[in-house]
């Protein structure tokens, strides 16, 4: 595995989380950091889990091995 995908299975979502976190810090509103938690919960449930199910069906053991070696977020 090469590039970002050897560190995170979802680098795009990770970058969005980092951007959202930076924006919340820029706003200097502590309560806005809750949006980061909500983002992670929603993206896990509505996007990542369905994607992982399809990838497991398509690539089976090869994808499961990748999942064992690379974390979902970081």
pLDDT > 80? residue 6: yes
pLDDT > 80? residue 1: no
Enumerate the domain spans of the chain.
3-69
Query: pLDDT tens digit string along 7-63?
Result: 999 999 999 999 999 999 999 988 999 999 999 999 999 999 999 999 999 999 999
Residue 64, token pair as written in the block: 């499961």
DSSP letter at 60? T
What is the structure's pLDDT at 12?
96
Q: How confident is the model at residue 67 (pLDDT cuts 50, 70, 90)?
A: very high
Q: How many CB atoms lie within 10 A of CB 14?
A: 19
């Amino acid at each position: 595995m090469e590039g970002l995908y050897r560190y995170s299975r979802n680098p795009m979502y990770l970058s969005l989380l980092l951007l959202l976190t930076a924006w919340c810090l820029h706003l200097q509103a502590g309560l806005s950091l809750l949006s980061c938690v909500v983002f992670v919960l929603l993206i896990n449930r509505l996007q990542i889990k369905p994607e992982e199910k399809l990838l497991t069906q398509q690539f089976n053991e090869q994808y499961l091995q990748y999942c064992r070696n690379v974390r979902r977020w970081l």
